[in-house]
Amino acid sequence: MSQRELSEEIRPELSAVADSSGCELLDCQFKGGVLRLVIDRPDGVTLDDCQTVSKQISALLDVVEFGADRYVLEVTSPGLDRKFYRDNDYTNFCGSKVRITWKDPGMPHKRTVVGILAEHSPDLREVVLVASETDDSYRISMKNILMARLEPEF
């Protein structure tokens, strides 16, 4: 199996390994010799979770003969400024401070606003963001969102 086929060919198996450890695989990507897996769990990811999943994934990759070249396996949590990977992230983090970057077809440039994720309408496939600094409200189509992530509050 080549390393490029990782996401398409083995992602279900990687996901099953994370699930067996009580975690959810949010993302996996292979770039520049680094295989990076992002895992999560409802009560937060610990270092032990990352180590357990890493050992199990290493064993799986050996069995499926993942690539002949050297690579680094990195298993990590989504972090304080976690990226939104799935639609249900918008529902789960409603009321939270977020940073959303989007491209509206009517605007010449992309726009980034930090504010409160006030609403997520899965049926309409849109979110409402209330800007922290101005209280302006933005109704954003999910198809136009380029990046969304939690904004850490200290």
Of 54, 76, 98, the last residue of a domain is: 76
Q: What are phi and psi of 46, to 5 degrees?
A: -105, 170
Of 20, 52, 76, the last residue of a domain is: 76
Asked if residue 53 lies in contact with residue 18, where contact means CB atoms within 8 angstroms, the answer is: yes
Of 26, 52, 76, the last residue of a domain is: 76
Query: By residue range, what is the domain housing residue 21?
Result: 3-76
- 15 and 47 part of one domain: yes
pLDDT tens column, 52-98: 999 999 999 888 877 667 889 999 999 999 999 999 999 999 999 99
The pairing of strands 72-76 and 97-102 is unpaired
* Whether pTM exceeds 0.75: yes
| C-alpha gyration radius of the chain | 18
Question: For residue 113, is it within any domain?
Answer: yes
- 20 and 71 part of one domain: yes
Question: For residue 81, is it within any domain?
Answer: no
Q: Is the pLDDT assigned to residue 30 strictly greater than 50?
A: yes
